Amino acid sequence: MDWNMIMDMQKVLDDRIMDKINRTRAEVKDEKLLALLVEVGELANETRCFKYWSEKGPNDRQDILEEYVDGIHFLISIGLDRTYTIQPTIKPSTKSLTEQFHVIYEGIVQYKSNPSETLYHQLLSDYLSLGDTLGFNETDIFRAYQDKNEVNHERQKTGY
């Protein structure tokens, strides 16, 4: 995966947003972390992995992938704000989807309390492992990221 290209694309989007709202990256760090929590929740909802009471399976793979890359946008944005090096690898997980979501939520909360590069890399790694468990390969993620980045730019034009 071309992480440098993803970082460049995210930086352009972030700069556009920051110029528009006239706030600093430091001023929106808590909002970004909350947005990431929300996006992770929306992703979990699409997978339906926690809905033990329901017989309905997960939603459409494309919908799940779109929610997944929303999380990638925020994770990369957070890493850029802190000027972290981003060259992750995708490692398969043996945990259930539900367990993986718990790990990610806990990682976000830990990172908020202690925003270290080590915790950031662990969080990103855990999120990429979740993508692997969901059946997404690097090509899927990269293309979906590009598509969503384009949508996000269009949304900025229309005052989304």
Contact 146, 5 (CB under 8 A): no
Query: Residues in the chain, how many?
Result: 160
Local confidence band at 156 (pLDDT 50, 70, 90 cut-offs): confident
For residue 88, pLDDT over 90 is answered with no
Mean pLDDT of 5-29: 92
How much is the CA Rg of the chain, to the nearest whole Å? 15
For residue 20, give both structure tokens.
């528009």
Q: How far apart, in whole angstroms, are the C-alpha atoms of residue 151 and residue 157?
A: 10
Contact 88, 123 (CB under 8 A): no
